[in-house]
Amino acid sequence: MTHPQRLALRGDLLDFTAQPARADPDSTALRFRPDHWLLIDAGRIVGAQPEPPGEGWARIDHAGRLILPGFVDTHVHSPQLDVIGSWGAQLLDWLETYTFPAEQRFADPAQAERGSSAFLDALLAHGTTSAVVFPTVHAASVDALFGAAQARGMRVVAGKVLMDRHAPDGLRDDVEGAERECEALIARWHGRGRLAYAVTPRFAPTSSDAQLAMAGRLLARHPGLYLQTHLAENRAEVQWVAELFPQARSYLDVYERFGLLNARTVLAHAVWIDAADRALLRERGAMLAHSPSSNLFLGSGLFGWAEAEDAGVAIGLASDVGGGTSLSMIRTMAAAYQVQALAGTKLSAWALLHAATRGAAQALGLAHEIGSLEAGATADLCVWDWAVGAVAQRRQQIARHLHEKAFAWITMADDRNLVEAFVAGQSRWQRGDGAPGPVK
């Protein structure tokens, strides 16, 4: 008799046991187990073996397909699907013209619920099973996002956006009211299932000194919280921060002065930082969420991957939709390769895949749960076709070794390659004969 909670998936299993070097195609950090059965019991991975399991296992045969841990998107905005691909602006103009109007709509709880469900289903349809997310300044947007994530069993880190200045009507809060709302949201959601709360000042210019100090108090009061914000994305933004905070040595130092840097801090972008900033990031254990397609699309600059990694700073990959142009972490990896090529750094397929899976999980303190196919991890994973379309199929056929196959996959694949997405061992998205859709 087959136990309904015992599942065996057949395919080419690929994950990492350590961090690969940036440009080593033969890295021993890679673990590749072709044509293996991945065994899942009660939502957790219990092992892998080359032979099929005995009776009592529900078997799904994906022979010849790639099985990866679910991707981890370390920085993305749930209300911004409506503004993806908007024309003609850099960061500060883009916020005013496109982002803020879209976020104002999430004041409506019904819109927040619809938008959050569509957003999480879109993540799953792109192979992302965990994410660090900005909703909006409205508490209803946080409730909607966490409620939808809990219904899908997803690992989501999020929190109410804090903005008490330099933002339009309907998107500003105040220090006391924001603190009350954050405390209520933390009590309601933090640590509930697979959810974690992140104190979320949008970026230094939209929070007063008093609000940044309040954010620091929340972190001190609740040691398990995350902190997420933006850092040094755009040169005009950096100049603005220098004018607003003249006492700070750098943009990063603003956050340091208010106690916002620790091992659970996620800083998006960090394009325009220096060696002293990187040393402080390493000391505090904060991670950087590299958002390459957004940096290219908004003309922000080239992130210093090599400089950050050599300084001992953890790096995760991020779509940053809607500044980014796709929720696909495959497209994000391809963009990261291109950005680093322009910056004079060569990245292997393994460095890219690691930053989208195990590397991001480690930086978030979640490597025991997500980012690998290790026994004991939650069974968040995705099944992919190695190739879709005649050109990609030909490229895979003539690939001479595994790294060549993987790099061609990163270069040419996208969400059309996704066959099935599992969250905690449950199928949450499948590609059908017709239009793809979520599995509820």
Give pTM, 2 decimals.
0.95
- Which CATH number does 71-327 carry? 3.20.20.140
Determine the topology of domain 6-69+372-438 in CATH: Urease, subunit C; domain 1 (2.30.40)
CB atoms within 10 A of CB 12: 21
Per-residue model confidence (pLDDT) at position 5: 85
Per-residue model confidence (pLDDT) at position 94: 62
Residues 6 or more apart in contact with residue 170 via CB below 8 angstroms:
104, 107
Give the residue from 370, 311, 372, 383 showing the smallest Cα distance to 30.
Answer: 372
State which residues of the chain have pLDDT below 50.
1-3, 433-436, 440
Per-residue model confidence (pLDDT) at position 107: 81
Q: Where are the domains of the chain?
A: 6-69+372-438, 71-327
Question: Residues 355, 290: contact at Cβ < 8 Å?
Answer: yes
Return the exposure string of 154-168: e unless at least 16 CB atoms fall within 10 Å of the residue's CB, then b.
bbbbbbbbbbbebbe
3-state SS of the chain is CCCCCEEEEEEEEEEECCCCCCCCCCCCCEEEEEEEEEEEECCEEEEEECCCCCCCCEEEEEEEEEEEECEEEEEEEHHHHHHCCCCCCCHHHHHHHHHHHHHHHHHCHHHHHHHHHHHHHHHHHCCEEEEEEECCCCHHHHHHHHHHHHHHCCEEEECCEECCCCCCCCCCCCHHHHHHHHHHHHHHHCCCCCEEEEEEECCHHHCCHHHHHHHHHHHHHCCCCEEEEEECCCHHHHHHHHHHCCCCCCHHHHHHHCCCCCCCEEEEECCCCCHHHHHHHHHHCCEEEECHHHHHHCCCCCCCHHHHHHCCCEEEECCCCCCCCCCCHHHHHHHHHHHHHHCCCCCCHHHHHHHHCHHHHHHCCCCCCCCCCCCCCECCEEEECCCCCHHHHHHHHHCCCHHHHHHHHHHHCCHHHEEEEEECCEEEEECCCCCCEECC
Per-residue model confidence (pLDDT) at position 37: 98
